[in-house]
Amino acid sequence: MRMTYTSDLWWKNAVVYCLDVETFKDGNGDGIGDFRGLTQEIDYLAGLGITCLWLMPFYPTPNKDDGYDVTDFYSVDPRLGTLGDFVEFMRTAHDRGLRVIADLVVNHTSDQHPWFVESRSGRDSPRRDWYVWSDTPEPNPKEVVFPDKEDSVWEHDPHTGQYYLHTFYRHQPDLNVANPEVRDEIARVLGFWMELGLSGFRVDAVPFLIENVSPELADPHDFLAELRAFMTRRKGGSVLLGEVNLEYDQLLEYFGDGLGDQLTMCFDFVAMQRAWLSLARRDAGPLASALRERPEPPKDCQWAMFLRNHDELTLDKLTEDERQEIFAAFGPDKDMQIFGRGLRRRLPPMFGGDERRIKMAYSLLFSLPGTPVLFYGEEIGLGEDLSAEGRMAVRTPMRWSAEGGFTQAERPVRAMPDGPNVADHRRDNDSLLRWIQLLIERYRESLELAWGDHTVLDAGDPAVLAHRCDADGATIVAVHNLDDRECEAELDLTGLERCVLTDLLVDGTVKVPGSGRVRLPLDPYGCRWLRVSAPEVSPEDASVKAQ
Ligand code: NOJ
Ligand code: CA
């Protein structure tokens, strides 16, 4: 039976695509990507099949942290366009059926934000309490996030003689969310952008955001529940997708425990890191154990799955030995590593450009339980630029044609090393772009993957990850070979005896024997998505039934 879910829970089977307006497409020829350029490429994105755009920060900014340092939450960075351009972009996106969410960066502001300028102007400033001030650099309760640039989360302000808290860089003072005025203002920011059509937000640095609410609210999580309730009142079906890089036992709280009244989705940093360990070892074990340990989010909530994003590939949840294994496999040069915990690389070069392996990794991403999130350029295998500073290595401009095609200007906002491009991928039916398009199409058709119960299966070979997704009597079985040798998975599909498995990625079927044990040959880095259909009824069986 094929399912026909229609639901307001659109995020359950969304395909999210993250991009930075600044590096996607320049529409006015000044070398900087902008909303006009992005609007021109909406048809490309709709054609790819993605369903939700996640815009990285596009607000006015001194750009000391690539836009994560905001000076005005109610406007568009003039380099990227105007509010008018934004609204035209939203209209076009909606016309093509795409939803849009955006980064909500309210743990901190830029130190050039007028609020902070006012706050630091004097101890008696009306906005003094909008930031977190202290007479002493309190013993650091937490580690600095960017150890290459900071050694404390407190910065002395000579003018007023106090210290302010900055979880990230010193130019990003933390907002004081214990102050109800600040919480109201944050809700106003949400309301503003929702009114302009956003379907929700990717919430930056959630654990840091809520940690300072106490003792104002009994439970810091009440703040998230307040925000979610506000959004639901304004616009049902809007989402909060949280950056919460914590272990599973702490994560459930961010969904609102059993209630599901806080974040709608959380990125699964644990499974992401274990997936990389599995890929490095060519052993499905670490990923399989993460999926088995992972708690079920409350009803209507969901995990978000990703392999790479705009930050370093953080490996902070692994042991030092495990991290070193991944460094050795995918980023052996010191220059590829960052913060002592991650890699500043994109996926294709980590696999030495091996297309079979790259394609298998994305097949894995789309088949795993959780909403898949792509980072722009992943669909064409865009590489990195290690000559760029720090995390900027993975944030090079999108490549549209052999010449680049990002801008008419001679000097793009960031260097554009040679690499793959959209035009070439479009001409080639075997390209990564076509493969990603196929995966998205199958994923969107296969609601079992998004809505179903997932079970990791014993595959009989350590290199193979096998799992099944069941929903309402429909089943898909997915198998992935993480190694570059041929192998055979042997699965126990008891209960599905004599059913037919139809391959969704290539032509072909396999029949489950009467024993329920099925053998599936896999190419090196082979991957198969198999839809289960009931056995055909033989004429003999039919006549028995008719009697
Ligand atoms: C998390 C973002 O992903 C990262 O890029 C940024 O530097 C920090 N938050 C600070 O906003
Ligand atoms: Ca421009």
Q: Average of pLDDT values for 389-399?
A: 98
Whole-model pTM: value is 0.96
Specify the pLDDT at position 1.
Answer: 43
Q: Cα of 395 to ligand 1 centre, how many Å?
A: 13
Taking CA atoms, 93 is separated from 51, 379, 522, in Å, by: 10, 19, 40
Atom in ligand 1 nearest the alpha carbon of residue 169: 10
| Pair 430, 469 in one domain | no
Q: Cα–Cα distance between 481 and 13 in angstroms, integer?
A: 24
What's the 75 CA to ligand 2 centre distance in angstroms?
Answer: 17
Summarize pLDDT for 75-112 with one digit per residue, the tens.
Answer: 999 999 999 999 999 999 999 999 999 999 999 999 99
What is the DSSP-derived secondary structure letter of residue 339?
T
pLDDT of residue 181: 97
| Domain assignment present for 206 | no
Q: Which ligand is nearest to the CA of 34?
A: 2
- In the reported structure, the alpha carbon of residue 39 is separated from the centroid of ligand 2 by a whole-number distance in angstroms of 12
Higher pLDDT, 534 or 281: 281
The ligand placed nearest to the CA atom of residue 29 is 2
Query: Which domain covers residue 395, as residue numbers?
Result: 13-97+353-447
Q: Is residue 151 part of a domain?
A: yes
* Last residue of one domain, picked from the residues 447, 471, 489: 447
Q: In which band, very low, low, confident or very high, does the pLDDT at 319 lie, cut at 50, 70 and 90? A: very high
pLDDT digits (tens, 9 = 90+) for 45-58: 999 999 999 999 99
87, 126: one domain: no
Residues sharing a CB contact under 8 Å with residue 277, sequence separation 6 or more, in sequence order: 286, 287, 318, 322, 325, 326
Task: Give, using CA atoms, the residue closest to atom 8 of ligand 1.
Answer: 68
- pLDDT tens sequence across 254-289: 999 889 999 999 999 999 999 999 999 999 999 999
Which pLDDT band, with edges at 50, 70 and 90, does 214 fall under?
confident
Instruction: Provide mean pLDDT across the span 516-542.
Output: 88
Residue 128 shares a structural domain with residue 74:
no
Residues serving a catalytic function are 204, 243
pLDDT digits (tens, 9 = 90+) for 145-178: 998 999 999 999 999 999 999 999 999 999 999 9
What DSSP designation does 494 have? T
Predicted confidence (pLDDT) per residue in 463-500, tens digit: 999 999 999 999 999 999 999 999 999 999 999 999 99
CATH code (residue 401): 3.20.20.80
Q: What is the mean pLDDT of residues 303-319?
A: 98
Query: Would you say residue 334 lies in a domain?
Result: no
Q: pLDDT category, 10, cuts 50, 70, 90?
A: very high
pLDDT average, residue stretch 21-33: 98
Q: Are strands 371-375 and 16-19 parallel, antiparallel or unpaired?
A: parallel
Q: How many domains does the chain have?
A: 3
- Average pLDDT (305-320) is 98
% pLDDT > 70, the chain: 96
Residues 364 and 443 in one domain: yes
Any idea what the CATH number is for the domain that residue 141 is in? 3.90.400.10
Q: Which of 70, 113, 168, 209 to mutate to test the pocket of ligand 1 (most atoms within 8 A of CB)?
A: 168
Tokens of 407: 């801008």
Among all chains, which residue has been given the structure tokens 């940690």?
A: 211
The H or E element that residue 169 is part of is: none
pLDDT value at 201 more than 50: yes
Looking at residue 546, what is its pLDDT? 47
